[in-house]
Amino acid sequence: ETGVTQSPTHLIKTRGQQVTLRCSSQSGHNTVSWYQQALGQGPQFIFQYYREEENGRGNFPPRFSGLQFPNYSSELNVNALELDDSALYLCASSSDRGDNIQYFGAGTRLSVL
């Protein structure tokens, strides 16, 4: 186990709704990254937070937003859900020691109907 937990594990929403996904980082990690993994594809980088500040963003629209809390847990919020948002959402935590290791959670499977 990586020590990174995500909730919920599965979620079903309808188009136009909003969703919040949560991630608890591994102890001692101050950086969290979120990825979208469509079926049969590799993870696509959404954004990264370091010490509660956004530290990088991929090619995703503004309706994808995030937060990192003082305890370094994190949320991914998606507004105005679209059918193409159906995917596995992964969070990964890491430290700032420069070891280039991200520890992934098992993900949240989001289905948009």
Partner 1 sequence: QQQVKQSPQSLIVQKGGISIINCAYENTAFDYFPWYQQFPGKGPALLIAIRPDVSEKKEGRFTISFNKSAKQFSLHIMDSQPGDSATYFCAASIEEAASGGSYIPTFGRGTSLIVHP
Residue 83 CB, shortest distance to partner 1, in Å, is 21
Residue 41 CB, shortest distance to partner 1, in Å, is 5
Q: What is d(CA 57, CA 107) in angstroms, rounded to the nearest whole number?
A: 19
Q: Which is nearer to partner 1, 60 or 103 (by Cβ)?
A: 103
Q: Which is nearer to partner 1, 15 or 72 (by Cβ)?
A: 72
Q: Which is nearer to partner 1, 14 or 41 (by Cβ)?
A: 41
List of residues contacting partner 1 (CB under 8 A) = 2, 4, 30-31, 33, 40-45, 48, 50-51, 53, 55-56, 58, 90, 92, 94-98, 100-107
CA 99 to chain CA centroid, Å, is 21
Q: Which is nearer to partner 1, 74 or 94 (by Cβ)?
A: 94
- CA distances to 63, 87, 94, 102 from 99, rounded to whole Å, are 31, 29, 9, 9
Residue 53 CB, shortest distance to partner 1, in Å, is 8
Give the position of tokens 């969290």.
32
Q: What is d(CA 35, CA 76) in angstroms, rounded to the nearest whole number?
A: 10
Instruction: Give me the residues paired with residue 44 across strands.
Output: 36
